[in-house]
Structure 1
Amino acid sequence: MWKSIASNFLTLFIVILVGLGGLVGWGQAQFTSEGPLEEAICLRVPLGGSMALVSRDLEAKGAVSNARIFRMGADYTDKSQDLKAGSFLVPAGSSMEEIIDVVTRGGQNTCGTEVVYRVGVTSKRAVVRELDPATNAYVETANFVPGEDAVPAEYAEAREDRDVRYRVTVAEGATSWQVVESLKAIDVLEGEVTELPAEGSLAPDSYEIAPGQERAALLSRMQAAQEAILAEAWENRDPSVPLETPEEALVLASIIEKETGVAEERRQVASVFTNRLRQGMKLQTDPTVIYGVTNGEGVLGRGLRQSELRRETPYNTYVIPGLPPGPIANPGRASIEAALNPDETPFIFFVADGTGGHAFAVTIQEHNANVAEWRKIEAERNANN
C-alpha cells in the first residue's frame, strides 16, 4: 500500500512539475512574443510611478495581455526599480520585454508634447507640437514669436507640464547675434549673456534643453560642438586646398553657407571660391558685403547699393583680395566639409538659375549669358507680382 501511495505521490509531483514547467514556458512566451497592441500609443509614466501602475495602464490600453506577467517579467529581469518617469512611444505589436526596455532605458521622452524654439536666418519662432503615435508624426498645436506675440494657451499649459520636452534648433547660416537675441526671448532659459560668441563658433543643430538652464551654458555646448566638427573636418581635409588654418576654413564655410541652400551644390560652390583663391581672383560675393553693412545684426531687407559694392571695407570681397577677416555666419557641418573638400571643377563663376540653385560657368562669356537669363527670370517674376 505504501508503495502505491508513494508511486501516486511521485506521479502527482511529476505532473505538478510538468504543469509548472508548462506554465513557466507559457509565461515566457507571453513575455517575449509580439504583443496585442494594434496601434502605437504614447505611454505616460508619472513621477513616482510604479511598475504595478504601469502594468495596469498597459493592460487597460490593450498593450499587454496580462499585467501580472508583465510585472513578473520586470522582476525577473531586475528592472522593476529602473522605471523612468516621462512619456514614451510604444510601437504596435511591442512585446512585454520590449515595453519594459522602453520605460526603463532612460534618456529623452519619445512622445507627448514638445516645445521647439527655432532660431532661423530671417526669423525666430516657438512651436508647440504633439507626437501622434498612430502616424509617428508631430501635429503642431501652437506657433508664435517669443517675446513679441501673445503667449498661446497651449504654450502656457505646456510650461506647467513636467513631462514636456524642450529643444532649441539653430538653422545653418544664422549669425551669433541672431542666436543670442533668440535665446534671450526664451523664457525657460535663465542667465545673462555677457559676451557675444565669435561669429562662426556656434554649431547649427538641435539642442535639448531643460527649464532653468543657463543661456551661457547652452552657448558653450554649441561652441564645443563646432570646435569638434571643425577639428574633424580639418583632420580629413584635402591637403591641396588653399587654406592655411582651421579659422580660414570656417570663414570660407560661412560664405558657402550663405551662398547656397541646396545641399548638392555646396561642394561645387566651394570649388568656385577655391579656384578663385588659387588664381588670385577676388571672391566677389554679396553675402560678405551684406555682413559688412549689418555686422550680422538682422537682415538687410533690401538690395545692395552700388556705393556699398564700391566702398572698401574689410568684408567687401569685390574690393579686397582673398578672404574677409572672419566668418559671416555660423556654418553647418556640410559647408565646413565642403570648404575643406571641394569638388574638382574648372568653374570660377556662378549665378542664380531661378530654381533655387545656380548656373556655373568657366568663362566670362558663359557667365554673362547665365546672368542675362537670370535677369530675364527676375523680370518675368516681377511682372507677375
Structure 2
Amino acid sequence: MTEYGRGHGSEPWHPEDPLYGDQGWTGHQTQQGQVPYGGEQQQYAQDPQYQQQYPQEQYPAQQQGYAPQYPQQAQQAQQPQQVQHPQQAQHPQYQQQPHQPQQPVYDAQGWDTGGQQYVATAPADPYAGVDPYAQQAAAGYPGENPDLYTTADAYPPPQPPNLRHLEPELPEQQDDEPEESFLAGGGDAEDGDDNGGGGRRAGRSKGGKGGKPKKRSGAACLVASLVIVGVLGGGGYYGYTFIKEKFGAAEDFAGEGTSEIVDVEIPKGAGLGQMGRILKEAGVVASAQAFVDAAGANPKGKSIQPGTYPMQKKMSGAAAVALMIDPSKLRVITVTEGMRNAKVYEAIDKKLNKPAGTTEGIAQQNAKNLGLPAWAGNNPKIKDPLEGFLYPTRYDLSKDSTPESLLKQMVKNASDKYAELGVEGKAKELGLENPLQVITVASLVNAEGKNHDDFRKMSEVVYNRLKKTNDVTNQKIEFDSTYNYAKGQSEINFNLKEAQAFNNPYNTHYIKGLPVGPIGNPGMDALTATLNPDHGGWMFFVSVDGNTTTFTKTYDEHLKLVAEFQERQKQKNGG
C-alpha cells in the first residue's frame, strides 16, 4: 500500500480517503505538506521518503497510477505533463538530495521502472493506524521556514469538506453590562446572591453562564402593562375619531339650540372651516363639518360676513347658518353715508340692548369728552355737536362694547379722515368761514345727490348760491333735506310755503346761507366732491323720476323741470 492508501491492485480509493471526490477543494490544505488541487503549489517540508511531486493537471483526471519523483529526476523521468512551480527550483528543500534511494515511477500499464519491476511485496504504510488529518511533526531542513502548525498558538489543521462543521459565532461578552431600565426590576436585593460567609454580593451573572435569571419586579411589569394599554387605547381612540370624522356622518345637534346665548366673533378673512371651528369651540355647533356642510347646502352660505353674532348653544349646523346669513343678526353697526346721528344712536341702543335714548343722552352730555376736534361744536345753536363726526363705516361690536366706546371710535375715524383730507386748510380756499362749514356742505351734497358726479354738481350749486351776487335765490340754499332735518323727518312731498315760513337755523328755505351745522355724516365721495366742485355754473337741480338728477343754470329751466316733476307726482298718487 502506498502513502495514499492504494494497494498493489486496481481497487478504487476508499471513500474516506481525504482526497476522494474533492478535486476542487481549494479553501484549505488537506494535511501538512499538501496543497489544494488546481491552485498554486506551496509545499512544506516532509520526511525525505515522502517528498514526491504529483502533476496537478494529471491527478484529477487519472486515478490509475502515479509518478512520484525527486526534483533531480525530473528530466530523467521525461514526464511531459510534469509541472514544476517556480518556487521549487529555488527553495532548499527542492534541491538534489544525496543518497536517496530511487523511487519507482508508475505508469498507466504497470510497474515500469525503466527496466525493473517490483512484485507483490508492498512497503510498509507509514500512515497505517494514524489519523491522516492529524498534524504530523516534520523534521525540518536547515534554513527552511518553520512549520506554523506545530506551535501552541497555531490554528487547527484544516478539515476536508465532508468533516467540516461550522460552529455559530457567539456574541462577544462585554465586561460591562449596560444599565437596565426600570422595567427590568433590578432591585438591590435581587441582582445577585451572597458569596457565602463574606457577605458580599456576587456580580451579575452573564447570559449563558449558568447564572440565575434576573427577577422582574411586579410593579415594573404592571407599569409596563399600563403603558402598553394606554398607548393602544389612546391610538385606538384617535384612530376611531379620525375614521369617524373622515368617513362617518358629521356630528350635529338638532333644532334652534338652547336658551343660553353666547357672542361669537368671526374675524375678517375667515373661511367656512375656520368659522365652523370657532362655533364648535363656543359650543354652538356639534362639529365644524356639520356647519360647513350646512353652509354648502345653503345658497347664501358663502355670504356670511365677519363680525360678532349672538348665537344660542347647541344649534344645528343649518340653524347656525340661517342666523349668520341674516345681516340683522350680526352684532355690527354700519353707519351709511349721509346717515343722521339719530339713526346711529338707535342702532347702538338696539345692538347693545340698551334702553331707547341711552346713547343720545351720552352724546349730548359728554360730547366734549369724545374726541371732537377743536373747531367742531362751538356754535350753541347746533342741534347735535356730534353730527357729521360719526364716520360712515362698519363697526364690529364685542362683549366689551359700550355706547361711549363706540362713539369715541366713530369720532376718531371722522377726525382722522378730515385731517387726512386737509379740511381745515381748504376752508378759506372754498370761500367758507371755518372747517365745520366744509363738513356741512358735504352733508348737504350727500343728502341730495345720488352718485359722485351728482355730488360735484351739487357742491357747485351750493357755492354759487352762497355768493353775494346771487340775486335769484338771494343767497338761500333752499334744500329740502335741511327742512326735513329740522323737522326730524324724511319727506319728499311737503308744503313749500310752510317750509319757507318755518324758522329754524337748519331750514335753508327760511335762512340765508348754510345751516349751523351738518345734517348728516358725509361719506368719502361727498367729502372729495365738496373739496373739488364741478365749476359748471350750476344753480338749480331737480330729480323728475326720483333716480336721475337734472341740473340747470337758469331759473326758467328749473321751473320747467319743477312742473314736470309735479305732474309726475300727481300721476303717481292717482290724481
TM-score by length of 2: 0.39
1:324 aligns with 2:515: yes
From the CA coordinates, give the structure whose radius of gyration is larger: 2
Counterpart of 1:38 in structure 2 is: none
Counterpart of 2:396 in structure 1 is: 208
Deviation at residue 345 of structure 1 after TM alignment: 0.9
Q: Tell whether the 8 Å contact from 2:352 to 2:402 is kept in structure 1 after alignment.
A: no
Change over 3 Å in CA distance of 1:137–1:377 after alignment to 2: farther
Counterpart of 2:408 in structure 1 is: 220
- Amino acid of the structure 2 residue aligned with 1:288: T
Q: Point out the more displaced range, 301-310 or 314-323.
A: 301-310
- Amino acid of the structure 1 residue aligned with 2:541: F
1:182 aligns with 2:344: no
How far apart, CA to CA, are the structure 2 residues paired with 1:87 and 1:315? 40
- Amino acid of the structure 2 residue aligned with 1:260: G
The equivalences for 1:1-385 within 5 A come to: 60=246, 89=270, 137-138=302-303, 166-187=331-352, 192-193=358-359, 194-196=362-364, 198-235=386-423, 237=426, 240-278=429-467, 279-280=469-470, 281-294=475-488, 299=490, 303-304=494-495, 306-383=497-574
Change over 3 Å in CA distance of 1:248–1:238 after alignment to 2: closer
Q: Tell whether the 8 Å contact from 1:111 to 1:131 is kept in structure 2 after alignment.
A: no
Deviation at residue 203 of structure 1 after TM alignment: 0.7
How far apart, CA to CA, are the structure 2 residues paired with 1:60 and 1:376? 68
Please give the per-residue CA displacement for 1:144-169, whole angstroms capped at 9, x wherever unaligned. xxxxxxxxx969x969xxxx963211
- Amino acid of the structure 1 residue aligned with 2:344: V
TM-score by length of 1: 0.56
- Report which of the two has the higher share of helix: 1
Deviation at residue 343 of structure 1 after TM alignment: 1.2
The structure, 1 or 2, with the larger RCO (C-alpha pairs under 8 Å, 6+ apart) is 1
How far apart, CA to CA, are the structure 2 residues paired with 1:308 and 1:332? 27
How far apart, CA to CA, are the structure 2 residues paired with 1:276 and 1:380? 32
The runs of 5 or more residues in structure 1 that have no matched partner are: 1-51, 62-83, 92-98, 104-108, 114-129, 141-152
- Report which of the two has the higher share of strand: 1
Q: Tell whether the 8 Å contact from 1:260 to 1:357 is kept in structure 2 after alignment.
A: no
Change over 3 Å in CA distance of 1:382–1:301 after alignment to 2: closer
Please give the per-residue CA displacement for 1:241-265, whole angstroms capped at 9, x wherever unaligned. 2223220111111111111233431
Computed over aligned residues only, the root mean square deviation of the Cα atoms, in angstroms, reads 4.2
Count, aligned residues = 259
Deviation at residue 170 of structure 1 after TM alignment: 1.4
Change over 3 Å in CA distance of 1:371–1:313 after alignment to 2: same
Aligned to 1:185, the other structure's residue is in SS state helix
- Amino acid of the structure 2 residue aligned with 1:265: D
Aligned to 2:363, the other structure's residue is in SS state coil
Aligned to 1:322, the other structure's residue is in SS state coil
- Amino acid of the structure 2 residue aligned with 1:365: D
Deviation at residue 311 of structure 1 after TM alignment: 2.9
Identical pairs, percent: 25
Deviation at residue 195 of structure 1 after TM alignment: 2.6
- Amino acid of the structure 2 residue aligned with 1:287: S
How far apart, CA to CA, are the structure 1 residues paired with 2:295 and 2:429? 47
Deviation at residue 349 of structure 1 after TM alignment: 0.5
How far apart, CA to CA, are the structure 2 residues paired with 1:345 and 1:134? 47
The runs of 5 or more residues in structure 2 that have no matched partner are: 1-237, 248-264, 280-293, 306-317, 368-385
Q: Tell whether the 8 Å contact from 1:288 to 1:315 is kept in structure 2 after alignment.
A: yes
